[in-house]
Structure 1
Amino acid sequence: MSDEGTWFRIDNASVVSTVRRATDRLAESLDLSEKRTADLAIVAAELAGNLLKHTNEGTLLLRPVRSGDVAGVELLAVDSGPGMADLARFMRDGHSTSGTLGIGLGAIVRQAGWTDVHSVPGKGTAFAVQVWPAETPEPAWAAAVTRPITGEEISGDAYEIRVADGRHQVMVADGLGHGPLAAAASHAAVNSFRNAPAVPPAALLEIVHREISHTRGAALAIAELDAAAGVVRYSGLGNIAGTIIEGISRRGLVSLPGIAGHQRRQIREYDYPISRGAALVMHSDGVVDRWQPGDYPGLSSSSPVLIAATVMRDAGVRRDDACVLAARLPS
């Protein structure tokens, strides 16, 4: 199952210490070296400290990240603060917006294996950082974030990303309702998807539909990104939204009515052209489908994790579980 991680709301100094301790525990569980654990500690302290000093609504996601058999740590700092018009200036050591930042975001970049940032003045910033035990792998072609409804510790939404016999496929599942039973449905869908044969999305959806009939069911969508053909193959049941964004434009994808595991009239697959400069975005109904890429200059060319985090920040609702996944054509 995908590692969903832990969200922290950075609203007081004690949370910064909590993040630091949680980061140390995660590094230990992944057997990171003493040097990389120390680097990670600097990154976590700076990210959390900057959120506390410069924003009012900052959150930080801490989770493991994997590439093959290698595991690292990812931190995702998201805020609705003033944003940064000149990213290069903010990345220089010594730059400060309030006289308190001191060493600047450049220190974070130096300690990390991989970073990406997207910022819009007046809307806020999303900053992704990964620390790996040794060599940094190629950036991921797909990534997602989930968040439970307010008051719950577990999300009823889930996702999975896989490469099966050369097929690059992703899935988003929204278990009906909230809490443990919804999570059981979406996680059953994830397990079925992960272990299914390498077949096209409609056939995959049919398999998952049959295999999760013992659960309360889920809204479900599966996509396959075919770089050679330049298409996204897409099949969905229920209210999972699929969108292709490029620059300021967006195109919606079709999901049919139904509940995977229980009710379905038909399962169909649709092909949509996609270019190298575009990205696929899928999300559950815990995300309002009124966001517009034109409000986020450069977002469609950002890394998938920053696309997912930015959409979650501005379109996710607290009264429902939420999941956002973004993907691009693989290299």
Structure 2
Amino acid sequence: MEVISGGFHAVFPMEDGSRVGEARRHAAQLALDCGLDETEAGRLALVVTELGNNLARHAVRGRLLLSPRPALGEVDVIALDEGPGIANLERSLVDGFSTAGTPGTGLGAVRRLARQFDIHSSVPGGTVVLARVGAGPGPQEGHAICVGAVAIAAPGERVCGDGWAFALQGDVAALLVADGLGHGPDAAEAAAAAIEAFMEDPLASPRVLLAHIHQRLRSTRGAAVMLLQADVASGTVRSAGAGNVMARLVSGTSDRALLSQHGTAGIAVRTPEEQCIAWPEHALLVVSTDGIETRWPPTVLAPLLGRDPTLAAAVLVRDHCRGRDDATVAVLRRKD
């Protein structure tokens, strides 16, 4: 079984080139935290520099998001912007292409330097770039499901009160998303306690896990939680939740919400109930905390159904974040 969890993404607005150095220094610390060797740390610095400079020079409201994944020996780098978009994506990945008189090696270099790379762009909506840098074998091999998540802290906070974790085993994947009440350190403590309880037996039924997490969170301020277990072989999703963490099954032809009962884990939860529904073949499972608007149109994810799930999560954070609370989106899908 492979367990994937991550801290939140530190956000660096790229209003001008001076912010690139700040992001690069933070990336250097993440490289140490994740055990990257000198070569990989150098690759990470170059990726952050290239993407940061591209955002500062060309983008509308460009932001770099950086997150460590120490257990996987890698660092996530995400570049977001709100325009103008890239009209010829294939050409933009060729060295020497430039629209601003620069050498034009940015995106091509990033793709070579990263262990995993993906990009989505629309005109005039904007661009999302994902680059993972690390020296390990790479996650999610040997499993039928791939996953991704983006989490950012509330404005002005140094920690995120949301938490997320995946467990992968062959045809089955389990997911927990927890939203500690409020935000700041106490909320983060509650979310961390939920993840710790989940990790003890992540492939147990969601109903059993919800009851277990409820007991473990009694010494905290409590959290809203959503638990999912997706099974490719049976084509089903089982779920149980308490509070306002939302879950949706979204594809080009369907959009269905998964039910969550009233209550707060650690404070008051009725006897946990479990739902089991069919999982359409091409549907994404999307779980988000209340820092994300709930009524986003499913069409925004249509171009991303077969892509790295982190891209879908990043697009929702970019376009539908409320901007006043912690915000998390976690996504999983079948592999092609």
Range with bigger deviation, 196-205 or 151-160: 196-205
Match of 1:63 among 56, 59, 67: 67
In the alignment, residue 117 of structure 2 is paired with which amino acid? T
Q: CA RMSD in A?
A: 2.2
- Give the alignment's TM-score, normalised by structure 1: 0.92
1:118 alignment partner, one of 117, 120, 136: 120
Query: Following TM superposition, by how much is the alpha carbon of 1:118 offset from its aligned partner in structure 2, in angstroms?
Result: 1.4
The alignment partner of 1:168 has SS state of: strand
Would you say the 8 A contact 1:58–1:77 is kept in 2? yes
- Is the 8 Å Cα contact of residues 243 and 253 (structure 1) preserved in structure 2? yes
Matches of 1:105 and 1:256, distance apart in 2 = 45
1:103 aligned onto 2:105:
yes
Give the gaps of 5 or more residues in structure 2: none
**Residue 16 of structure 1: how far off its partner (Å):** 0.4
Cα separation, 1, equivalents of 2:26 and 2:102: 25
CA-to-aligned-CA distance 1:62-116 (integer Å, 9 cap, x gap):
12236xx641222111111111233112111111223336224111111111101
Q: What do residues 213-249 of structure 1 show as CA deviations (whole Å, max 9, x unaligned)?
A: 1111111110011111111111111111101111264
Residue type of the alignment partner of 1:50:
N
Structure 1 letter corresponding to 2:249: I
Q: Give yes or no for contact 2:34–2:69 (8 Å, CA) kept in 1.
A: no
Q: 1:119 to 1:99 in 2, by over 3 A?
A: same
Please identify, of 303-312 and 162-171, the stretch whose mean Cα deviation from structure 2 is larger.
Answer: 162-171
Q: Percent identity?
A: 37
Structure 1 position 167, deviation (Å): 4.6
> Does the alignment pair 1:75 with 2:80?
no
What's the CA shift for 1:281?
0.3
Indicate yes or no: 2:167 matched with 1:162.
Answer: yes
Which of 23, 44, 53 is matched with 2:57 structurally?
A: 53
Looking at structure 2, the residues matched to 81 and 63 of structure 1 have their Cα atoms a distance apart, in angstroms, of 23
| Amino acid in structure 1 at the alignment position of 2:85 | G
SS at match of 2:119: strand
Kindly tell me the number of residue pairs found equivalent between the two proteins: 329
- Residue 178 of structure 2 aligns to a residue whose secondary structure is strand
Instruction: Indicate whether 1:37 and 2:41 are aligned.
Output: yes
Q: Which residue of 2 aligns with 1:90?
A: 92
**Residues 172 and 222 in structure 1, CA contact (< 8 A), matched pair in contact too:** yes
1 CA distance for matches of 2:297 and 2:226?
21
1:22-33 equivalence runs, <5 A = 22-33=26-37
Aligned to 1:271, the other structure's residue is in SS state strand
Q: How far is 1:6 from its partner?
A: 1.9
* Equivalent residues in 2 for 1:114-153, closer than 5 Å: 114-133=116-135, 135-138=137-140, 141-153=146-158
1:290 corresponds, among 295, 298, 310, to: 295
Alpha-carbon spacing, 1:64–1:241, altered in 2? closer, same or farther (3 Å): same
Cα distance change of structure 1 residues 298 and 261 upon mapping to structure 2, 3 Å threshold: same
In structure 1, list runs of 5 or more residues that go unmatched: none
Map 1:183-202 onto structure 2 (within 5 A): 183-196=188-201, 198-202=203-207
Distance 2:84 2:57 in 1: 12
Amino acid paired to 1:22: H
- Report if the CA contact (8 A) 1:80-1:123 is conserved: yes
CA deviations 1:231-288 (Å, max 9, x no partner) are 1111111111101111264211111111111112332111122234221000011100
1 CA distance for matches of 2:132 and 2:54?
17
Q: 1:237 aligns with which of 211, 222, 242?
A: 242
Give the aligned partner of residue 209 of structure 1.
Answer: 214
Take 1:33 and 1:60, find their aligned partners in 2: how far apart are those partners? 22
Aligned partners of 2:176 and 2:128: how far apart in 1? 23
Rounded to whole Å, the distance in 1 between the matches of 2:236 and 2:16 is 46
Distance 1:197 1:170, change over 3 A: closer
CA–CA distance in 2 between the matches of 1:247 and 1:310? Answer: 17
Q: How far apart are the structure 2 equivalents of 1:260 and 1:164?
A: 26
**Which range moves more in the overlay, 133-142 or 25-34?**
133-142
Task: Kindly state the Cα deviation for residue 152 of structure 1 after the two structures are TM-superposed.
Answer: 1.2
